[in-house]
């Protein structure tokens, strides 16, 4: 009993951190409808700012100097003193940084996104998270830091007569978190600002009519949340051990749990929930070492049990169909009907086969062979997201974990109790051949996928996204890192034997130990083609219609005779099957799989890139695969930018690009490219000498000037661009500059025309449908009633 | 026997009885209307029949089957199709696909076939959809997206979607709301033509004009209770209905005025002509 109370109390320290971050998540969600996956990263940047100012007297601004010159620089660091500033000054600086980050996040990222689908906001917050992590790595260094606590942190002996030593810091943490929670609750409950925020969350138009600016309110909420997160991390963070950019960013998971307990709505409940979560985790940590604790749960209980409870509560509270008049989610982009499937297949297949042979063992270009199969596998994984998220609208952040299920299960089914090069401990298993083991792996993924999809029957939108994160973490700790399931000792990777097909080896490793064998790339391509055609078929047939119907409107779908729950589970099942196939291919590529391949963060990153490619179409998945980390596009830019300092900024630029594309191209890149490619294709088919000449006249000068400039500056360069590439790159830059200049000129003339038109007769504008029609109905029906009754009297 | 037979239907939201003890019958091949002022509980009633809201007590029998514990999609499969007041079209699907979704009754393994085959022969459902489209004059709009259509056209798509499922009973929730007089009239003509092709219709509206003109039998709902029922001429004369629509006090005042007038007329006739 004493142990129980003591361990509950010990967990309160971490619980306080969850509580404060969780209430920040609630505030942001209510203020602007964003589940801020970057919330932990906000706290991280704040605490690093604090520590850096106190330790070294530097203030590091939240951006990097990306300009590749020595004479023109972006100011990044401000030197305040030579040996650190006093703690209160550092604290004020960190809070000011939090205010700045909150404002930047609102005005640069989430304000432009206020009318996009929930998924777009999730993707943008992932972009912000990657950006801040990247900036922190560059500005503060990626290593661990041991920050000293600012609250007294001596040990209290024989705490409350429980006979154990208790850290005083945890008491402070709990006190401060409760104080903050109550203050925030009171602000939102009693002040006009709080009332206005709550009002604007319920009805934005109404708030505007009452004279409040919803955007101002949202910005204020971002600032409050960011400040609370920073303060929490500074006060409580050091108690929890060393600080790393990635580790602190991951705190968002516990905070999400706390926010979910509060239903993303109640600050008070989120606060108490966060404290309770910390306490329960600590207690489970104690119990999982006891002998009576189930062996299987031992590694994961700490993370899994609380999450499972939260999901269960949400599930029981949810409804199987949305209520009448419940708020509708913003729609995802339209999902185009796939056309010309055979043509697409042939073109992609030829490109891939060509590339596979070109890049095989081709010196420094061999990286492309690796990137090629990475991109193809990523495309398979993203196809699974197209089905689940693009077609049925369910945001799943567990697709990589499902891929992991297939990979790990296959590895275990292949194992036959022998040691391998990468794993000196033998793994027991039935030693099945690869097709059987792979099939079993995919089936396991489907089964788990349907289970992961079960909450979607009653939980919707962003809440579901958070629940799937919980599922991903559970799978990781319960299966991938669980020795009693994988039989892998000491975190060794699971070995996968290469596949072969009627004597043709499909191994990924070539004779030089590089993953560049064309046979493997073609094997992946064939699998990708099969998956892509299957997904296209789904979209073109009745199943796809039902998927999109459920995505568009669950109530109407049920009225049309669709079993909404079964349809969602079907999508999760198909998605899991495809993700499983992707996982199996990834296992074949790597020959070893480890849990690091399948963490929930990689699901987040993959979903983000799938969204950028265009999550509602098969082509979008393929473009997403090209964009994927370590894929073709990354490899290309690394290849060409090698030797320049820009290589270091890839994470930062990637995060920024993610945010930028989510704002500028909410439909994804593929639809835009498709349009362009179609025009280009049509033009190429019809173009004769005359047309070519016309284009040459239009684009030629800009290209030539660029190419000459590229050639001219070649002797001045410091990097390793080749002599051939430089003029071509220069020419392309010339074309880019031309199009930008033309675009600006066009927008100026458009503005002038508009001004001219405004001074003329006012254009007739259509009334905003809903309000106008509603008012007319109300008036009209009243009149009709009178008329009808009068008519009745006459009869 | 009635196609739809409802006895003692009660729907409570907390302490409020949105529908209280409703008895209602719809015979096969008829057009039955339910009218009532705003907030009378009409949409709650249709939600209860189609399974979108929890029924507190009472029995709903459709075509001899007890519906009370069935999910909405099961009820739709039994031949119960509804429209929504707020349309609720599938905005991501073309008009034709909107109808196809409702028309198709796929077997459980349909997804496996769909995964494997590229396209299939023209199905029987397509004919059903074509028929529904032409019945409402939407054939030319079949490949448009709902968001490209006018409000009146969207209303018709909603009705066509319900009709495409070849329902035994078509439940229409305020189909005339937001339509102009001409569109409303055209809708009335459509409804009568569905009836002659064998579909039973249950129509809900607060617009008495449409309901009184087309329905064979009318129920009047107010504050969750049926206050009157009968043919359109019976309902028109019912003092409860007049009171419900013009307000209790207005109804009373009118009644009082009427009786005063009658008394005055009587007194003049008694005293004879005045000089």
pLDDT tens-digit readout, A275-296:
998 888 888 888 877 777 777 7
Residue scoring higher pLDDT (A80 or A579): A579
**Does one domain contain both B75 and B171?**
yes
Chain B residue at shortest CA distance from A340:
B118
Name the minimum distance, in Å, from the CA of A318 to any CA of chain B. 14
Residue scoring higher pLDDT (B24 or A737): B24
Residue tagged 């197209």 (tokens): A386
Q: Are strands A58-60 and A77-79 parallel, antiparallel or unpaired?
A: antiparallel
In angstroms, the CA B144 to CA B124 distance is: 22
Mean pLDDT over A199-220 rounds to: 82
Chain B residue at shortest CA distance from A776:
B178
Residues of A within 8 A of B91 (CB-CB) are 331, 552-553
Is a pLDDT exceeding 50 seen at residue B275? no
pLDDT at residue B268, as a whole number: 57
* A540 at interface of B, judged by CB pairs closer than 8 A: yes
Give the ranges where A115-213 is alpha helix by DSSP (H): 118-140, 168-190, 192-202, 204-209
Counting the structural domains of chain B, the total is 2
Measured between CB atoms, which of B88, B111, B237 is closest to A553?
B88
Which of B104, B133, B166 is the last residue before a domain boundary?
A: B166
Residues of A within 8 A of B90 (CB-CB) are 548-549, 552-553, 556-557
Choose, out of A550, A560, A615, the residue to mutate when testing the contact with B (most B CBs < 10 Å). A560
Is a pLDDT exceeding 80 seen at residue A636? no
Is a pLDDT exceeding 60 seen at residue A447? yes
* A737 at interface of B, judged by CB pairs closer than 8 A: no
**What is the per-residue pLDDT across A300-312, written as a single tens digit (0 to 9) for each?**
777 777 778 778 8
Put simply, the answer to whether A549 touches B101 (Cβ < 8 Å) is yes
Q: Are strands B217-222 and B31-35 parallel, antiparallel or unpaired?
A: parallel
Residue B107: CB atoms within 10 A of its CB come to 8
Residues of B within 8 A of A578 (CB-CB) are none
Put simply, the answer to whether A542 touches B116 (Cβ < 8 Å) is no
pLDDT at residue A363, as a whole number: 67
Residues of A within 8 A of B236 (CB-CB) are 789, 792, 795
Question: What would the 3-class secondary structure string for A85-132 be?
Answer: CCHHHHHHHHHHHHHHHHHHHHHHHHCCCCCCCHHHHHHHHHHHHHHH
Is a pLDDT exceeding 60 seen at residue A721? no
Q: Grade residue A725 by pLDDT with cuts at 50, 70 and 90.
A: low
Name the minimum distance, in Å, from the CA of A280 to any CA of chain B. 35
Which of B166, B182, B200 is the last residue before a domain boundary?
A: B166
CB neighbour burial string for A460-482, b if at least 16 within 10 angstroms, e if fewer? bbbbbbbbbbbbbbbbbbbbbbb
The CATH number covering residue B201 comes to 3.40.50.300
* A541 at interface of B, judged by CB pairs closer than 8 A: yes
Chain A to chain B Cβ contacts (< 8 Å) = 144
Residue B7: CB atoms within 10 A of its CB come to 13
A569 sits in which H/E element: helix A564-590
ipTM of the predicted structure? 0.87
Put simply, the answer to whether A545 touches B101 (Cβ < 8 Å) is yes
In angstroms, the CA B105 to CA B252 distance is: 53
Mean pLDDT over A328-349 rounds to: 78
pLDDT at residue A140, as a whole number: 86
User: Could you give the maximum distance between any two Cα atoms of chain A, in Å?
Assistant: 99
Has domain A2-151+166-287 been given CATH number 1.10.1200? Answer: no
* A339 at interface of B, judged by CB pairs closer than 8 A: no
Residue B275 resides in a domain: no
- HSE at residue A271, side-chain half, CA atoms within 13 A, is 22
Measured between CB atoms, which of B90, B145, B178 is closest to A553?
B90
Find the range with the poorest average confidence among A16-20, A758-762, B196-200: A758-762
CATH class of A341-640: mainly alpha
Find the range with the poorest average confidence among A49-58, A536-545, A607-616, B203-212: B203-212
Chain B residue at shortest CA distance from A578:
B115
Chain B residue at shortest CA distance from A795:
B233
Name the minimum distance, in Å, from the CA of B3 to any CA of chain A. 19
- Per-residue tokens: B193: 């033509």
**Does one domain contain both B120 and B71?**
no
Mean pLDDT over B12-32 rounds to: 89
Residue B136 resides in a domain: yes
Put simply, the answer to whether B178 touches A552 (Cβ < 8 Å) is no
pLDDT at residue A508, as a whole number: 78
Average pLDDT, chain A: 81
Residue B137 resides in a domain: yes
**Does one domain contain both B96 and B158?**
yes
Chain A residue at shortest CA distance from B179:
A777
Q: Grade residue A764 by pLDDT with cuts at 50, 70 and 90.
A: very low
- Give the pTM: 0.84
Name the minimum distance, in Å, from the CA of A363 to any CA of chain B. 41
Mean pLDDT over A76-81 rounds to: 83
**Domain extent for B114:** 90-166
Q: Grade residue A91 by pLDDT with cuts at 50, 70 and 90.
A: very high
Is a pLDDT exceeding 50 seen at residue A763? no
* A564 at interface of B, judged by CB pairs closer than 8 A: yes
Q: How far is the CA of A482 from the CAs of A411, A490, A639, in angstroms?
A: 14, 10, 39
Domain range annotation of chain A: 2-151+166-287, 341-640, 701-757
Put simply, the answer to whether A559 touches B72 (Cβ < 8 Å) is yes
pLDDT at residue A791, as a whole number: 46
Find the range with the poorest average confidence among A30-34, A231-235, A709-713: A709-713
Q: Grade residue A777 by pLDDT with cuts at 50, 70 and 90.
A: very low
Put simply, the answer to whether B246 touches A574 (Cβ < 8 Å) is no
Find the range with the poorest average confidence among A402-416, A454-468, A759-773, B228-242: A759-773
Average pLDDT, chain B: 84
pLDDT at residue A441, as a whole number: 95
**What is the per-residue pLDDT across B49-82, written as a single tens digit (0 to 9) for each?**
999 888 989 999 998 889 888 999 999 999 999 9
Is a pLDDT exceeding 60 seen at residue A539? yes
pLDDT at residue A770, as a whole number: 38
Residue scoring higher pLDDT (A308 or A271): A271
Residue B160 resides in a domain: yes
Which of B117, B133, B166 is the last residue before a domain boundary?
A: B166
Put simply, the answer to whether A559 touches B93 (Cβ < 8 Å) is no
Name the minimum distance, in Å, from the CA of A549 to any CA of chain B. 6
Domains A2-151+166-287 and A341-640 share a fold: yes
Is a pLDDT exceeding 80 seen at residue A761? no
Residues of B within 8 A of A546 (CB-CB) are 101, 104, 106
- Per-residue tokens: A355: 């590339």
Number of helices (H) and strands (E), helices first, in chain A? 30, 8
Residue B60 resides in a domain: yes
pLDDT at residue A786, as a whole number: 45
Residues of B within 8 A of A446 (CB-CB) are none
Q: Grade residue A767 by pLDDT with cuts at 50, 70 and 90.
A: very low
**What is the per-residue pLDDT across A130-186, written as a single tens digit (0 to 9) for each?**
899 889 888 887 667 777 777 777 777 766 666 777 777 788 888 888 898 899 999
* A788 at interface of B, judged by CB pairs closer than 8 A: yes
* A555 at interface of B, judged by CB pairs closer than 8 A: yes
DSSP codes, B16-44 = EEEEEEEEEEE-TT-EEEEE--TTSSHHH
* A530 at interface of B, judged by CB pairs closer than 8 A: no
**What is the per-residue pLDDT across B135-155, written as a single tens digit (0 to 9) for each?**
888 899 999 999 899 888 898
In angstroms, the CA A355 to CA A358 distance is: 5
* A760 at interface of B, judged by CB pairs closer than 8 A: no
Name the minimum distance, in Å, from the CA of B122 to any CA of chain A. 12
Is a pLDDT exceeding 60 seen at residue A510? yes
């Amino acid at each position: 009993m004493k142990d129980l109370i003591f361990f509950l109390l010990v967990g309160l320290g971490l619980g306080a951190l969850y509580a404060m971050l969780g209430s920040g998540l609630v505030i942001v969600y209510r203020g602007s409808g964003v589940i801020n996956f970057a919330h932990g990263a906000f706290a991280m940047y704040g605490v690093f700012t604090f520590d850096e100012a106190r330790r070294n007297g530097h203030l590091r601004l939240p951006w990097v100097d990306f300009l590749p010159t020595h004479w023109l620089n972006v100011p990044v660091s401000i030197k305040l003193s030579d040996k650190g500033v006093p703690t209160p000054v550092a604290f004020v600086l960190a809070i000011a940084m939090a205010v700045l980050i909150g404002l930047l996040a609102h005005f640069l990222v989430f304000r432009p996104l206020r009318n996009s689908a929930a998924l777009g906001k999730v993707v943008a917050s992932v972009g912000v998270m990657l950006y801040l992590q990247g900036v922190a790595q560059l500005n503060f260094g990626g290593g661990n830091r041991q920050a000293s606590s600012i609250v007294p942190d001596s040990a209290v002996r024989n705490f409350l007569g429980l006979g154990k030593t208790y850290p005083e810091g945890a008491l402070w943490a709990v006190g401060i978190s409760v104080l903050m929670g109550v203050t925030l609750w009171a602000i939102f409950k009693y002040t006009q600002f709080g009332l206005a925020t709550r009002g604007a969350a319920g009805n934005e138009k109404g708030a505007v009519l009452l004279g409040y600016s919803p955007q101002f309110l949202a910005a204020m909420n971002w600032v409050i949340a960011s400040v609370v997160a920073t303060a929490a991390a500074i006060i409580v963070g050091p108690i929890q051990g060393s600080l790393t950019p990635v580790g602190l960013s991951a705190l968002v998971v516990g905070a999400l749990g706390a926010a979910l307990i509060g239903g993303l709505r109640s600050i008070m409940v989120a606060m108490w929930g966060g404290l309770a979560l910390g306490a329960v985790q600590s207690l489970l940590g104690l119990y999982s070492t006891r002998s009576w604790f189930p062996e299987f749960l031992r590694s994961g209980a700490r993370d899994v049990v609380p999450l499972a409870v939260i999901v269960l509560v949400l599930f029981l509270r949810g409804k199987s169909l949305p209520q009448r008049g419940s708020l509708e989610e913003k729609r995802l982009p339209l999902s185009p009907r796939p056309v010309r499937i055979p043509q697409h297949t042939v073109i992609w297949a030829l490109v891939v086969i060509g590339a596979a042979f070109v890049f095989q063992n081709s010196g420094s270009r061999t990286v492309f062979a690796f990137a090629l199969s990475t991109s193809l596998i990523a495309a398979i994984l993203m196809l699974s997201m197209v089905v689940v998220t693009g077609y049925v609208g369910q945001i799943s952040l567990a697709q990589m974990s499902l891929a992991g299920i297939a990979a790990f299960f296959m590895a275990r089914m292949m194992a036959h109790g022998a040691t391998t090069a990468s794993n000196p401990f033998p793994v027991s298993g039935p030693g099945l051949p690869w097709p059987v083991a792979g099939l079993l792996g995919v089936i396991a993924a489907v089964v788990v996928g349907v289970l992961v999809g079960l909450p979607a029957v009653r939980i919707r939108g962003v809440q579901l996204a958070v629940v799937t994160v919980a599922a991903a973490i559970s799978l990781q700790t319960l299966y991938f890192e669980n020795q009693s399931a994988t039989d892998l000792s000491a975190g060794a990777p699971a070995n996968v034997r290469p596949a072969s097909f009627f004597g043709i080896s499909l191994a990924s490793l070539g004779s030089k130990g590089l993953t560049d064998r064309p046979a493997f790339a073609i094997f992946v391509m064939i699998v990708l083609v099969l998956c892509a055609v299957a997904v296209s078929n789904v979209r073109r047939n009745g199943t796809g219609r039902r998927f999109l119907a459920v995505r568009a409107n669950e109530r109407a779908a049920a009225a049309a005779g669709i079993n909404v729950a079964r349809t969602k589970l079907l999508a999760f099942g198909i998605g899991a099957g495809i993700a499983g196939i992707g996982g199996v291919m990834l296992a074949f590529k790597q020959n070893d799989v480890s849990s690091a391949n399948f963490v929930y963060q990689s699901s987040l990153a993959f979903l983000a890139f799938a969204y950028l490619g265009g999550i509602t179409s098969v082509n979008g998945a393929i473009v997403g695969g090209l964009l994927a980390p370590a894929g073709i596009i990354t490899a290309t830019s690394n290849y060409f930018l090698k030797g320049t300092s820009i290589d270091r900024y890839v994470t930062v630029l990637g995060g920024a690009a993610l945010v930028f594309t989510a704002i500028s191209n909410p439909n994804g890149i593929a639809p835009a490219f498709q349009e362009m490619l179609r025009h280009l294709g049509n033009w190429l088919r019809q173009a004769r000498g005359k047309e070519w000449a016309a284009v040459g006249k239009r684009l030629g000068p800009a290209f030539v000037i660029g190419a000459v400039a590229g050639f001219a500056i070649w002797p001045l360069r410091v990097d390793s661009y080749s002599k051939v590439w430089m003029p071509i790159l220069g020419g392309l830059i010339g074309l880019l500059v031309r199009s930008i200049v033309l675009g600006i000129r066009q927008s100026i003339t458009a503005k002038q025309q508009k001004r001219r038109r405004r001074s003329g007769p006012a254009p007739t504008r259509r009334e905003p449908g809903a309000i106008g029609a509603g008012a007319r109905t109300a008036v009209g029906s009243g009149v009709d009633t009178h008329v009808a009754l009068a008519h009745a009297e006459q009869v | 026997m009635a196609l739809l037979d409802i006895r003692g239907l009660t729907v409570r939201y907390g302490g409020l009885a949105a529908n209280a003890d409703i008895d209602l019958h719809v015979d096969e091949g008829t057009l039955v209307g339910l009218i009532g002022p705003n907030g009378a509980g009409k949409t709650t009633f249709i939600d209860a029949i189609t399974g979108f809201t929890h029924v507190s007590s009472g029995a709903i029998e459709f075509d001899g089957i007890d519906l009370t514990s069935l999910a909405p999609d099961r009820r739709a499969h039994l031949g119960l199709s509804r429209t929504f007041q707020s349309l609720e079209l599938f905005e991501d699907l073309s008009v034709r696909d909107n109808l196809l979704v409702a028309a198709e009754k796929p077997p459980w393994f349909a997804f496996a076939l769909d995964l494997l085959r590229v396209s299939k022969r023209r199905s029987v459902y397509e004919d059903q959809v074509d028929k529904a489209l032409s019945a409402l004059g939407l054939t030319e709009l079949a490949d448009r997206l709902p968001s490209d259509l006018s409000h009146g056209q969207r209303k018709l798509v909603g009705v066509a979607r319900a009709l495409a499922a070849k329902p035994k009973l078509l439940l229409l929730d305020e189909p005339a709301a937001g339509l102009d007089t001409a569109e409303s009239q055209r809708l009335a003509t459509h409804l009568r033509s569905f009836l002659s092709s064998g579909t039973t219709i249950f129509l809900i509206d607060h617009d008495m004009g449409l309901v009184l003109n087309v329905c064979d039998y009318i129920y009047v709902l107010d504050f969750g209770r049926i206050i009157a029922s009968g043919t359109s001429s019976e309902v028109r004369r019912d003092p409860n209905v007049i009171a419900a629509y013009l307000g209790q006090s207005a109804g009373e005042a009118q009644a009082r005025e009427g009786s005063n007038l009658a008394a005055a007329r009587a007194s003049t006739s008694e005293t004879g002509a005045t000089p």
